[in-house]
Amino acid sequence: MPLLFSYGTLQQEGVQRSTFGRLLEGEADALVGYAQTMVRIEDADVVAKSGKAHHPIVAHSGRDADRVSGTVFEITKAELAAADAYEVDAYKRVSAPLASGRRAWVYVDARGAPESLLPFGRTQREAPDEGSRR
Q: Which domain holds residue 71?
A: 3-113
What angle do helix axes 77-86 and 13-20 make, rounded to 10 degrees?
110
Distance CA 71, CA 11 (A): 7
Identify the weakest region by mean pLDDT among 2-11, 15-24, 51-60, 107-116.
Answer: 107-116
Cα–Cα distance between 108 and 95 in angstroms, integer? 10
Domain total of the chain: 1
Residue 38 lies in a domain: yes
Q: What percent of the chain has pLDDT over 90?
A: 58
> What's the CA gap between 29 and 98, in Å, rounded?
7
Q: What is the pLDDT of residues 95-105, one digit of tens each?
A: 999 999 999 99
Residue 113, pLDDT > 70, answer: no
Give pTM, 2 decimals. Answer: 0.79
Q: Is residue 132 part of a domain?
A: no
Nearest Cα neighbor of 108 from 79, 129, 126, 87 is: 87
Higher pLDDT, 117 or 41: 41
Mean of per-residue pLDDT scores for the chain: 85
Domain membership of residue 124 (yes or no) is no
| 64-68, 90-94, 110-114, 129-133: least confident range | 129-133
Within a domain: 66: yes
**Which one has a higher pLDDT value, 108 or 56?**
108
Specify the higher pLDDT residue, 115 or 37.
37
* CATH number for position 27: 3.10.490.10
Asked if residue 53 is part of any domain, the answer here is yes
Residue 134 lies in a domain: no
Is 51 within 8 Å of 21 (Cβ atoms)? no
Mapped onto helix, strand or coil, the DSSP state of residue 72 is strand
Residue 85 lies in a domain: yes
Distance (Å, whole) CA 44 – CA 16: 17
Contacts of 85 (CB under 8 A, 6+ apart): 19
Q: Is the pLDDT of residue 3 over 50?
A: yes
Flag whether 62 is in a domain. yes
Mean per-residue pLDDT for 53-75? 92
Residue 118, pLDDT > 80, answer no
